[in-house]
Amino acid sequence: MKTYRIGQIVPSSNTTMETEIPAMLNARQGDFPQEGFTFHAARMRMMHVTPDELKAMDSQSDRCAQELSDARCDVLAYACLVAIMCQGPGYHRQSEARLGKATEENKAPTPIISSAGALCDSIKIMGFDKVAILTPYTKPLTQQVAAYIESEAIRVTDSVSLEVSDNLAVGRIAPMSLLEHVKRLDTSEADAVVLSACVQMPSLAAIQRVEDMLGKPVLSAAGATTYQILKTLGLAARVPNAGYLLSGRF
């Protein structure tokens, strides 16, 4: 068995990515018994999802990348979507390059991905250019997320904001409640639905259910991050019951 070390840079109040990413990767065990994973995280202080806190949090990401590179992880994921997207168009590329340099300076060069980049790239990999999104954010932050996605040549056809700014409360949103919230989305023009455009809002348990209900591809920021982790490691991007992106087609 080959064991891969998965590093995540997460907000200090985030609880979901350290739950959903291990769940998805470990769910592959039956199909890929030769693979094993260990999970490691470094934290950036943040309690409330506001522009000021997000910007202050992002400044801590270099330290986190260096700390995780001490453990010689095989890949590092910057696991906060909105912290990147509120910094302006294309910032995920700047962030990934800077964090990669931080690991190189620590003499442990490590591939870097970001949830923000992973979401946009994964939509394109599926061949789509129109999505409807569900977020836990306030409407102004949702508008920034939509603008960022659109700056990557992907049209956001509709959005629903749950208006939750306390990051701990976001992590306590019941995944199955998304089956009702998503009914408020106009998905008629969308190629796919982003059920959670936020790495802290749990959605894994609902993705396949919503996909079956809507008859359209459904993905999440966490699922897109998992997809990019697998591709970066050169592994098959297949996870059972995790939606179209992780069906093995890509």
Q: pLDDT by residue (tens digit) across 224-247?
A: 999 999 999 999 999 999 999 999
Count of domains observed in the chain: 2
**CA angle (44 as vertex; 38, 46 as ends), nearest 5:** 125
Is 80 annotated as belonging to a binding site? yes
Provide the domain limits for residue 29: 2-115+223-246
Query: Is residue 23 domain-shared with residue 76, that is, in the same domain?
Result: yes
Q: What is the pLDDT of residues 14-49, one digit of tens each?
A: 999 999 999 999 999 999 999 999 999 999 998 888
**Among 64, 80, 86, 120, which one carries the catalytic annotation?**
80
| Tokens describing residue 114 | 């970001």
Helices (H), the chain: 17-26, 51-58, 61-70, 81-85, 91-105, 115-125, 139-151, 167-171, 178-181, 204-214, 221-232
- 91 in a labelled binding site: no
pLDDT of residue 181: 97
Active site residue 120: no
Q: What does each C-alpha distance from 26 to 8, 13, 116, 187, 239 come to in angstroms?
A: 16, 23, 23, 31, 9
214 shares a domain with 233: no
- Distance between CA 88 and CA 115 in Å, rounded? 15
User: Does residue 97 contact residue 86 with C-beta atoms inside 8 Å?
Assistant: no
Domain with residue 205: its CATH number is 3.40.50.12500
* Contacting residues for 14 by C-beta, under 8 A, at least 6 apart: 43, 79, 80, 167, 171, 199, 200
pLDDT digits (tens, 9 = 90+) for 136-164: 999 999 999 999 999 999 999 999 999 99
Flag whether 73 is marked binding. no
Q: Are residues 110 and 125 in the same domain?
A: no
Query: Is 73 tagged catalytic?
Result: no
Residue 162 vs residue 52, higher pLDDT: 162
